[in-house]
Structure 1
Amino acid sequence: MENLRFSVDVDAPAQHVWNVMLDLDSYRVWTGAFHEGSTYEGGWNEGDEIRFLGPNDDGTASGLFGTIVESRPHEFVSIRYLGDIENDVENREGPAVGLHESYSFSETDGVTTLVVELEVPDEWAEDMRGMWSEAIVTIKQLAERPRSTKS
């Protein structure tokens, strides 16, 4: 088991970085680093179940599912994985069961430090390092884009 940690400073308020990371539309953009077409089902509130899914060529989905263990809006969210999903079928056994992942957002003078921490099986570590390194840069870029006013 490996513990991975990624951090980036984002020139935007914590609430905005939280929204960019967790709102479904922008989530679909930055998670392209993991799998094009990634999405989630569920919510980010404490106790919510959540499914992280990517499409397969045959129209089914694969990914991970878990529970939100702790959620403090614009500050911290923690996920405990309950298993994986392969071709739309949940599997509550295997390497994902019991793994944790968390996102911390701390703001100082309008700059938010985003920290992502996760446990991964050794065989996933190299891939996750590459994917999260790309994903966290994309979150920063999305959050620092000029915000347009909607009319």
Structure 2
Amino acid sequence: MKQLTFNITINAPREKVWNVLWGDETYPEWTRAFSEGSRAETDWKKGSKVRFVDSNGDGMISGISDAIPNEYMEITHEGTIMNGKEDYSAAEAGGWAGAKETYTLKDAGGKTELHIYTDITDEYSEMFSSMWPKALDAVKQLSEN
């Protein structure tokens, strides 16, 4: 498992960036960098389950480990969804059960510093290393407009 980090400064307040990251309409816009038609089924509250799915309904099951509005989100990946069925054993077999993603938003004089930390298997490290900057550029564009 590798750990990847990404940082971007956005000319918008933390509240705006937070709403872009987790908004029902904006989440699919910035996550298009990972998968066209992706969406998240959740309320984004601590302790809640998240179903990250693509346009076919396949994807990942995760949990919100921590959520402090406008400041911090921690997501722990737990399983997969294939053909509408949840499978927690696939994550164990693939070596990424318990992998985390964290999003930290810090005020920077009216701007927001967004810091992303993510665990990723070696197999997908290169792919996600090129996808995350595109996703963050989309978050920046959506937040600044």
TM-score of the superposition, structure 2-length normalised?
Answer: 0.93
Match of residue 63 from structure 1 = 59
Match of residue 136 from structure 1 = 136
Work out the CA distance in 2 between the residues paired with 1:15 and 1:116: 17
The alignment of Structure 1 onto Structure 2 pairs a total of residues equal to 141
Q: After TM superposition, give the deviation of residue 41 of structure 1 in Å.
A: 0.5
Identical positions, percent: 34
Work out the CA distance in 2 between the residues paired with 1:84 and 1:129: 21
Is there any run of 5+ residues in structure 2 with no aligned partner, and where? none
Match of residue 68 from structure 2 = 72
Match of residue 48 from structure 1 = 48
Which residue, out of 80, 83, 88, partners 2:84? 88
Residue identity in the other structure for 1:74: N
Q: CA offsets, 1:116-141, max 9 Å, x none?
A: 11101100111111111110011001
- Counterpart of 1:25 in 2: which secondary structure? coil
Residue identity in the other structure for 2:122: D
Work out the CA distance in 2 between the residues paired with 1:76 and 1:30: 18
Which of these two proteins has the greater Rg computed from alpha carbons? 1
Match of residue 117 from structure 2 = 117
Let me know the Cα RMSD of the aligned residues: 0.9
Residue identity in the other structure for 1:38: S
TM-score of the superposition, structure 1-length normalised?
Answer: 0.90
Q: Could you list the runs of 4 or more consecutive aligned residues of structure 1 that deviate by over 3 angstroms after TM superposition?
A: none
Match of residue 3 from structure 2 = 3
- Counterpart of 2:26 in 1: which secondary structure? helix
Work out the CA distance in 2 between the residues paired with 1:86 and 1:117: 26
